[in-house]
Amino acid sequence: MSTHYLPEGLPTPSSGPDGLAAPYWEGTRAGKLRIQKCNGCKAWQWGPEWVCHRCHSFDLGWEDIQGHGRIYSYERPHHPVHSALNGHGPYIAVLVELPAYGNIRMVGNLLGDPLQTVPIGGAVQAVFEPHDSATPPYTLVQWRLV
């Protein structure tokens, strides 16, 4: 059984030529979840950006965080929009809010039965999903109910 929630062949993440998101993807490879924290005003920021939206400092650091969150919203796509998903059936994407980190939100899949009832507000824990045989290898962050 595959250790990946979705089939192989979906687009793979890249930090891109500007490298803005590179610390995040390097972190997930090492089993760390990290997001931006402003060294000027200490605001948490996600997704990555070059400047702090609060104090306009360009001195943004990256900080390892605990992967504890709660489900803010969800969806269960049925219609496949990518050839890798043809015939796969429904799956669950969740929008997870992280109350300990300024309520920033992350998107991932909810592990387990794709037909399960999804509780909005339910507590979830981050789970690393390595794709070691991809070129280059990458690691996604998924979520499971706790």
Partner 1 sequence: MADRTLRGKTAIAGIGETIYYKHGQSPHSEFKLALQAIVKACEDAGISPHDIDGFASYGNDRSDGPRLAAALGVKELKFSNMFWGGGGGGVCGAVGNASAAVATGMADCVVAFRSLAQGQYARYGRSGAAAAVMGEDAFLFPYGVMSPAQRFAMKITRFMHDHGIRQEALRGIALACYHHAQKNPNAVMRGRELDEEKYDASRWIVEPFHHLYDCCQENDGSAAVIVVPADRAKDMAKKPAYVMACGQGGDHRSAAPVHNMPNYPSSHFGKLAPRLYEMAKMSPSDMGIVQCYENFTGGVLMSLIEHGMVKPEEANEFLVKDNLIVEGGRMPLNTSGGNLAECYMHGLELVIESVRQIRGTAINQVKKNDAAIIMGGPMVTPVSSLILGSEATL
Q: Which residues bind Zn ion (CB under 5 A)?
A: 38, 40-41, 43, 52, 54-55, 57
Which stretch in 16-24, 26-34, 56-64 sits in contact with partner 1 by CB under 8 A? 16-24
Query: What residues form DSSP beta bridges with 108?
Result: 94
User: If binding is defined by CB under 8 A, does position 14 make contact with partner 1?
Assistant: yes
Q: Contacting partner 1 (CB under 8 A), which of 57, 83, 86, 116?
A: 83
How many beta carbons lie within 10 A of that of residue 85, not counting itself?
A: 18
Q: Contacting partner 1 (CB under 8 A), which of 43, 93, 127, 145?
A: 93
58: amino acid identity, one letter: F
Q: Contacting partner 1 (CB under 8 A), which of 2, 16, 50, 113?
A: 16
User: If binding is defined by CB under 8 A, does position 128 make contact with partner 1?
Assistant: no
How many beta carbons lie within 10 A of that of residue 100, not counting itself?
A: 11
Query: What residues form DSSP beta bridges with 125?
Result: 68, 144
What's the rounded Cα separation, in Å, for the pair 17 and 9?
A: 22
Work out the widest C-alpha separation in the chain, in whole angstroms. 49
Work out how close the CB of 10 gets to partner 1 at its nearest, in angstroms, rounded to a whole number.
Answer: 6
How many beta carbons lie within 10 A of that of residue 64, not counting itself?
A: 12
Residues that bind partner 1 (CB under 8 A): 6, 10-17, 21, 25, 46-49, 53, 72-79, 81-83, 85, 90-91, 93, 95, 104-109, 120, 140
